A and B are shown apart, each in its own frame.
Chain A
Amino acid sequence: MPAQLVEGNSAVIVGAMYAGCDCFFGYPITPASEILQEASKYFPMIGRKFVQAESEEAAINMVYGAAAAGHRVLAASSGPGMSLKQEGISYIAGAELPCVIVDIVRAGPGLGNIGPEQSDYNQAVKGGGHGSYKNIVLAPNSVQEMCDFTIKAFDLAFKYRNPVVILADGVLGHMIEPLEFPKTAIEHHIDTSWAVAGNEATMKNLVTSIALDFNELEQHNVKLQAKYDRIQENEVEREEYRTEDADVILVSYGISSRIANSAVDAARKEGIKAGLFRPITLFPFPWDELKALADRGCSFISVEMSNGQMRDDIRLATGCKDVALVSRYGGNLIERDQILDMIREVA
C-alpha cells in the first residue's frame, strides 16, 4: 500500500478529505494548528471549502451551518478553544447534526501549556456543554488511526446524526509515523430528508434545537437517550493485549496506551501477568467488556494523563473502588517505569 511518513495532525486532514469532508472551519491553537494549516493548503486545492474563523465559537457555528446543509464538515481545536466550542456542540447535538471535531488535548486548566494531556476526557465523553447529550468519542493511538478514525468518525456521525469527537493529544498530533493512505474516497451526498441546503428539495426542512413545550422537549430528550443506547449497544470498540491470563489489567487510551503496552511487556518479562485493555470508543465506553475482566478477579490500573477522569468510569464498570491510578500532568508523558512500579505494587 502507498504510504508516507506523516504527522498526526496532517493524517486527520488526509482521513477527512478521503472521507468526503467538504468544509473546514478553524481557529489557530497549538498543538492543533497544523490541522488548520493543512486544511488551508489541501481543501482549496480541490475546491473544498476552508475558512479561518474569527474564534472557536464562530468556527463551531460555521460547522453547524455546513452540517445543517448536509455536508461533511470538520473542526479541530484544543484546550481553551474546545471550551469555547461547547455551546455550539450542544446545539449540534440538540439539532442532531453530524460533524467531526478533533480535540488535540493540551495541558490545562486555564491557559495551561501546549504540552500533551488527556484532561478533556470528561468534557468530551460526558457531553461538555449544557444539556443531556453525548458525543461519540474515538481515541486513536497512532498516526494511522488519526486518519482511519477520522474516516470512521464521519461514518458514525452520519449514521447517528451526532457529533463525533476524536480525542487525541499533543503527542499524537505532532508525531510522525508511516501512514497508509485510504484506498477509497467517499463521494458527496446530501440527505434531503433533513438537510437545509437552500434548494427546492430541502425547502420544507427545519434545523432547530428549541422546543418551548416541556413535553415536546422531553420527548426529544427521550429520543436522544434512545439513540445513545443504540450507540452503546452497537458501537463499542476496544483492543486487548495479553489479557487472556492477566491478573493486573492496565486500562489506557490514546498515547498513554502505547506506553502502557511497553509496560505490559516489561512486567511479563518479570513474570507478572499483566495485560492492557484499551478503550477505542470512550463513548460508548466498554462497560461490559471491563466487567467481564473484573468478574475474573483482575486488579485494575488506570493509566491516563489526567486526574483519574477515566478511572471513575473504570470504577463504575468494574465495581472495584480501589482502581489504581498512574498519571502525569502539565505536559509530561507517563513513563514506562512509573507504570511498571505500580504494576509491581498491585500484583
Chain B
Amino acid sequence: MAAKEKVIGPAGFYSIFERKGGAAPTATHYCPGCGHGILHKIIADTMMDLGIQDRCVLMSPVGCSVFAYYYIDCGHVQTAHGRAPAIATGISRAEDDAILISYQGDGDLASIGLNETVQAANRGEKITIFFVNNTVYGMTGGQMAPTTLVGEVTATTPNGRDPRDAGYPIHMCELLDTLKAPVYIERVSLSNINHIRKARRAVRRALEIQRDKKGYAFVEFLSPCPTILRMDAKGIERFINEEMEREFPLKRFRDRSVEAEPIERRESDFSKASLDKAFGVSASDSIEVVTNPEFVPKGVKISGFGGQGVLSMGLALAQAAYKAGRFVSWYPDYGPEQRGGTSNCSIVISGEQIGSPVVDEPDVLVAFNRPSLDKFATDVKKGGLILYDALAGAFKPPEGVRAIPVPATDIALGKGVEQAANTAMFGALMEAGNLGLPGEAFGRALERTFAKKPKLIPLNLEILETGAKSVR
C-alpha cells in the first residue's frame, strides 16, 4: 500500500518517510507552502546530481527543520540549538572527505548560534550553511527572530518590532562578508518559481565547493512561513518580494570558488612508533623507583620572584631525586600572589608513595628574595635549613633552624649569566641540603634540564660546583 503512495520527488529524497512513522508516511511535517519543503527537495536533487550522496552529512537544527532527517537520503546528525556549525566542524575535522551541510533557521543561526556561525565562517571550515530566513521563530510559535522586520508583528512583538526596544534586523550575509575566509556568500529567495530557479543554482555552487573541498559556503534563503505570518500564497510571495527584499537585498556577495585552493588535511597517525618519537620516549629514561620506608621523607620549598628560575630549580631537584630512584612530586603552589610576581613550588622526596604534594612545613626552604624569607621562614621545621640569596640582607632564622646565605646572584653575575643564580643555589642545596641524594644526581639533572641547549651544560656544571663550594 505504501508503495502506491510513494512521493514523486527527486532521487536523494526518501520515498516513504519511515523515520517519521505515524499514519501518513508520505506527508511531510511541514505546513503547506513552507519554504523548508522546497529547499529540502533542491538539496536532495543537487546532492544526487553532483554524485555526492554518500559523502553528505546533514545537520538538522533545532527549529521547524529539526526532522530534516526524515526526508533527505544521506547521513544525519541532529544538533543542539545554534550549535550546528560547531558540530559540523567536529565531523569535518574528523572526516576530511565528509561533506557537511548545516541547515539552520534564523533563530538558530543568527541568535543563539551567532558565535558558532561567525567563528566557523572565520575559520573557513569546509561546511555549507543553508540559512532559512523566514523572519520568525517557527517551531516555538512565532516569536521575534533576529531577522524580524521593523514593525513586524510577532508573538513577542505584539505591537510590531520597535527598534528602540528590540534593535534592527541582522543582515547575516553582509556580516559574514566582512570576513576573509568564506569562499561563497549569496542571498536568494524561495518566494516563486523564478527565484527558486536562482536558489537552485546557489545550492549547486555551494555544494560544488564542498565536493571540491574548497571551504566555506553560505547561502541565505528568504523563505515563506505562511502559517506563522498568517498569509495566503499570494500574500507571502508579496511579503518576501517586497518587504523582505527591501531589507535583505538578493545578491551574490562573493564567489571565490575558482581561485580557492582545496583544503586537504593530513591523515592521522596512530602508530606507537610515532607516539614514542613525539613524546621522546626512550628506554634510557627508565628508572627503578625503590620503596624504602627507612628513608625519611623530605619536603623542600623553593620561593622567589618570577624569572628567578624558582620553578625550574624545583624541577631540576625533582629530576635529581627521580634519577636517584626516589619517589618524588613537584607542585607549583597557587596563591593570590601568583600574579604579583612571586612564585614558589613544593618538592617532596620520599622512599614511599607520596601523600600530599604540597609542602606546608619544609625541611629545606630555598629563598631567592626577602619576601620569600619573610613569608615562609617561620614554617620551616625545627632542625630544618634555610638557604637564601645573600642579597636578601641580614636575616635571623627562627629557633632551631639553620640559615645559610648563599651568594647565588653574585656567583651567577661573576660567570656573566645572571639567570644562572638558580644553578648556584642548586649547588648549595646539593652540598648542604642533606636530602639523601647523591651529588652526581644533581649534575645529571642539570644535564637533562639543558638537554635542548647542550652548549650551556659545561658552564652550568661549573656554576653548580661554585655554588656548592660557597657553602662548604
* A317 adjacent to chain B (CB < 8 Å): no
Residue of B nearest to A200 (CB): B54
A58 touches B119 (CB 8 A): yes
Contacts of A230 in B (CB 8 A): none
Q: A262-B356, A336-B355 are in contact. Are A1 and B286 (CB under 8 A)?
A: yes
Contacting A5 at CB < 8 Å: which of B268, B319, B332?
B319
**Alpha-carbon distance A278/B262, docked complex (angstroms):** 53
A181 touches B89 (CB 8 A): no
Contacts of B21 in A (CB 8 A): 213
Contacts of A206 in B (CB 8 A): 19, 69, 75-78
B270 touches A73 (CB 8 A): no
**Alpha-carbon distance A65/B55, docked complex (angstroms):** 15
Q: Of the 9-residue stretches B32-40, B92-100, B196-204, B234-242, which lies at the interface with chain A?
A: B92-100
**Alpha-carbon distance A207/B266, docked complex (angstroms):** 26
Interface residues of A in 117-137 (CB under 8 A from B): none
Interface residues of A in 289-347 (CB under 8 A from B): 331, 333, 335-336
Q: A185-B271, A206-B78 are in contact. Are A3 and B90 (CB under 8 A)?
A: no
* B315 adjacent to chain A (CB < 8 Å): yes
A177 to chain B, nearest CB (A): 5
* A209 adjacent to chain B (CB < 8 Å): yes
* B330 adjacent to chain A (CB < 8 Å): yes
Q: A22-B94, A175-B329 are in contact. Are A58 and B334 (CB under 8 A)?
A: no
B330 touches A5 (CB 8 A): yes
A64 touches B286 (CB 8 A): no
Q: A198-B75, A335-B360 are in contact. Are A178 and B94 (CB under 8 A)?
A: no
Q: A196-B91, A206-B19 are in contact. Are A4 and B285 (CB under 8 A)?
A: yes
A115 to chain B, nearest CB (A): 5
Bitwise, A198-242 to B at CB < 8 A (1) or not (0) is 111011111111100100000000000000000000000000000
Contacting A46 at CB < 8 Å: which of B19, B54, B278, B355?
B278
**Alpha-carbon distance A91/B21, docked complex (angstroms):** 23
B358 touches A178 (CB 8 A): no
Contacts of B315 in A (CB 8 A): 5, 176
B93 touches A61 (CB 8 A): no
Bitwise, B84-111 to A at CB < 8 A (1) or not (0) is 0011111111110111100000000000
**Alpha-carbon distance A66/B280, docked complex (angstroms):** 28
* A174 adjacent to chain B (CB < 8 Å): yes
Contacts of B357 in A (CB 8 A): 171, 175, 177, 255, 258
Contacts of A198 in B (CB 8 A): 54-57, 75, 91, 95, 97-100
Binding site for A on B (CB under 8 A): 19, 21, 53-57, 60, 66, 69, 73-80, 83, 86-95, 97-100, 115-116, 119, 123, 265-272, 274-276, 278-283, 285-287, 289, 315, 318-319, 322, 328-332, 334, 336, 353-358, 360
Q: Could you list 26 examples of A-B contacts with CB < 8 Å?
A: A2-B283, A3-B286, A18-B272, A25-B90, A42-B279, A51-B123, A58-B89, A58-B116, A62-B87, A62-B90, A65-B91, A68-B77, A116-B334, A174-B331, A181-B281, A185-B275, A198-B54, A198-B55, A198-B57, A198-B100, A203-B74, A208-B77, A208-B78, A258-B357, A261-B355, A331-B334
